[in-house]
Amino acid sequence: MKSAKDWAKIYANEKWQQENYYVGNDLGAQCKIGLTTINLWSPVADEVTVNFFKDGNPDTRPYWTSPMRRDKRGVWRWSLPENMHGTYYDFTLVIDGEKHFAVDPYAKSVGVNGKRGLLIDMSLVRPDGWSEDIAPARTNETVIDEIHLKEFSYDPAGGFPENERGKYLALTHADTVLNGAGQTPTGLNYLKSIGITHVQLMPIYDYGSVNELDKDQHEFNWGYDPVNYNAPEGSYSSDASDGMARVKELRAAIMGLHRAGFRVIMDVVYNHTYNLDNGLQNTMPYYYYRTTPDGYLSNGSGCGNDIASERSMVQKYIVDSVLYWTRMYHMDGFRFDLMGLITVDTMNEIRRRLDNKYGKGEKLVYGEPWTAGQTTLMLDKPLADKSNMGLLDDGIGIFEDDTRDSIKGSAGDAGGLGFVNGADGIEWKIQNSVKAWRNDGSPFKSPACVINYVSAHDNQTLWDKLTATTPDEGTRRRQYRLSVGIYLTCQGRPFMLSGESFYRTKGGNGNSHDAPIEINELRWEDVAKKGCEDLANFYRGLIALRQQLPGLYDKGGFAHTRIGSQWSQPGVVGFMVDNTDDEQPSLWKFLTIVYNRKNEPFEFELAEGEWQVLATSADTYLWRHPETESGQYELGPIDFVILGQK
């Protein structure tokens, strides 16, 4: 029996690579009228049999088995002149004298807990109106809200139908209100009222960390544990035992999001898998994974294994998967988990293929430009981490953790300080954040490359982080608004954790990936609590104002040149913005923006002329009926101001 080290030597052979690279687009199973085909790539297999089942229960036996035919470049083929839609299947392979049982790596849907693939004619599992589904028009600015399906709709107070709470179908309701009555919006209704334009769905592919047969539906996980990359997760469907339900209901959810006015971003995890019991490993031992020279699995993901995207057929698999989700589920973008483990070549190929198919920049692509540890590359290819930003296409963005940490302190240190909560000597970092870190020698090609945020599913929520550093609640609330005021007035794309706009807390838990749902769920009654309605209005006004300010939402390569007259002193940062735009004129030609983190007022001299006060921490709707200022302006303690000049 070959070891991981033995397999690595085989795969490293250049002749083997050339002879077994398959360029076709027909891997996986296809069902249509009068024909079913199944194609599996496994050049190391000596025999392959396809097994057919009546249902997706992993304990049942096949009612029919049939050998597959070996073709060129390691592809095994099988076909039948009838549509086998609704039949479940898997493979038995003989590899190196051993039997392997495998799910199809390209399976479009699966049975319970992903143990068996489903032959599915996608044209037959469309919700009403699917063929007319289109994304809403793009707005001047992209404002992204990150949601987890179960967190988002599990709370009974959210007003979702009881049998759809925590499910795909919860996202088909755009008019939910608190406790199902009254006027206080919840769910998508709430996000729309805030001004969100894009919803980022945390993992909705088939993952392994939740038992889909959990009758109490109490199990919880974020879902960064891929098993079947091209199949929807079953725990979010109305019936996990029905592989068609999860497909139809996820499509309905995406259509519901589009109809509600949101574009949809899919959170994808092509850097590791839940474990090695999956279709990738069981059809091609150790081909899809990085191994060390000693034959151990590489672990740059911190999850026990790393996907080897530098290998040609692994890159093809990832690119095929992204294009599949875009085509079959109308996804409008992709967020890549631990993108720093994926090769630059792979990310650039994804960007190129999406641009060629849908138009340049039409689909958003961004990710985490870091790893969780050191990885072992199987080929000498650069990885898509922050150090290689200059090699990435300018249409690929990253989460800018320097902006996040500069504003409120290190995410890895609960007690660490940032600008708003007292760190000294980092005003220059805030100045760099404002212009999306476009400095001399900067690897960032434009603000399109930068995702600005102060909270995401990882680490503490913004409220919990500030609670750890600022005991006084009144001061903390002012720091909260200042934090948001800063990242929403930086060039780049704004991003927020769902619930951020009503002081979301997880009780200080900085890694709630498998914590009880009671810790993770959005508590919709909080939106009506004292202070939360005011905070929501604060977000609404600031986002609505940003949509009118080309000096901030400009994503061009020279956008940073709009930022001028930057100055600072301890605890204060100020700058001016050229806000002119011939194509979409704004009411204000120039902006002055100042941040004051000090616990005392700050007075500064305005540039010559009259200035209108557009927004402060206290009121972000001043732009509707602005007051005029000139000469000296006094900014309040722990406050910011946006002024405009016509």
Task: Tell which residue, 238, 153, 233, has the closest CA to residue 187.
Answer: 153
Q: Does the pLDDT at position 440 exceed 80?
A: no
Catalytic residue among 368, 385, 400, 427: 368
Mean pLDDT of 34-56: 97
Distances in whole angstroms, Cα of residue 185 to Cα of each of 151, 163, 176, 328, 528:
17, 20, 6, 31, 9
Using N-to-C axis directions, what is the helix angle for 312-329 and 344-358, rounded to 10°?
30
Burial of 318 (0-12, 13-18, 19+ CB in 10 A): buried
Cα distance between residue 532 and residue 135, in whole Å: 31
CATH fold match for the domains 4-124 and 561-645 = yes
Q: Give pLDDT, residue 182.
A: 85
pLDDT in tens, 170-224: 999 999 999 988 899 999 999 999 999 999 999 999 999 999 988 777 899 999 9
Q: How confident is the model at residue 548 (pLDDT cuts 50, 70, 90)?
A: very high
Catalytic residue at 337?
yes
CA distance 217 to 465: 30
Residue 6 has pLDDT above 80, yes or no: yes
3-state secondary structure 70-120: ECHHHEEEEEECCCCCCCEEEEEEEECCEEEEECCCCCCCECHHHCCEECC
Domain boundaries, the chain: 4-124, 561-645
Q: Cα(298)–Cα(242) distance, rounded to whole angstroms? A: 36
- What proportion of the chain, given as a percentage, has pLDDT over 70? 100
* 565 vs 94: CA distance, rounded Å: 69
DSSP 29: E
Whole-number mean pLDDT of the chain?
A: 97
**Catalytic one among 104, 155, 249, 337?**
337
**Dihedral-angle region of residue 338 (phi above 0 means left; psi in -120 to 50 means alpha; beta otherwise):** left
* H/E element, 206: strand 205-207
The DSSP secondary-structure symbol of 243 reads H
Fold observed for domain 4-124: Immunoglobulin-like (2.60.40)
525 carries an active-site annotation: no
- One-letter identity of residue 565: S
pLDDT at 493: 98
The whole-number pLDDT of residue 48 equals 98
Arithmetic mean of pLDDT, 113-136: 97
What pLDDT, on the 0 to 100 scale, is given for residue 439?
A: 82
For residue 530, what pLDDT is reported? 87
Q: CB–CB of 226/210 below 8 Å?
A: no
Helix (H, G, I), strand (E, B) or coil at 184: coil
Residues 464, 485: Cα–Cα separation, whole Å = 18
Protein fold of 561-645: Immunoglobulin-like (2.60.40)
d(CA 187, CA 192): 9
